[in-house]
Structure 1
Amino acid sequence: ARAISDASWSELRRMVEYKADWYGRTVIAVDRFYPSSRTCSACGSIVERLPLDVREWECRCGAYHDRDVNAARNILAAGLAVSACGDGVRPPRS
């Protein structure tokens, strides 16, 4: 975790936002505490606990999820909801 925090994520985000402005695009940041891995992309229920060593899991609704693919689907849905509704998933950066 320390190595990731040293990787200068804020600088990467700054560059992505600059390029997005340059090309007329919008960057939507999802809060880092958004439970994207634990939320079922099929029914929306949230698993109480999902350790990092669990890479695949099955929801109560019967949907079977790969952790990363499920998180990607949930982040895309959150971004599209923000884009359509104008509500933020995360407070805007100053």
Structure 2
Amino acid sequence: MIASRDVALPAPLGGATQPAEERQVRIITVLPRDAIPAILDPEFLTPQQAAGQMRSTERVMGVFLNGEARAYPITMLSVHEIVNDTVGGVPIAVTY
């Protein structure tokens, strides 16, 4: 059974009380589709190797699944945007 009731929505930001008028937006892209290559077979460093090649303040996106951990540097993700990987036996897509 689906119940229905009136719910008061918050007021829009900026104090506007009327909905904005509808308008068309044109989206322009600079790069063609698939111009940024995904990483399909990532290679990883050991923690000891990474300590010698990365700053201690470098940001990473971390994944921990089924007892297996991976760290994906944001500097690398900002260039490739997608990493397809398997962590702990689970296929994942890391996106940034």
TM-based fold match above 0.5: no
TM-score range, shorter chain: under 0.3
When Rg is computed on C-alpha atoms for both structures, the one with the higher figure is 2
TM-score normalised over the length of structure 2: 0.24
Ranked by relative contact order (alpha carbons within 8 Å, sequence separation 6 or more), the top structure is: 1
TM-score normalised over the length of structure 1: 0.24
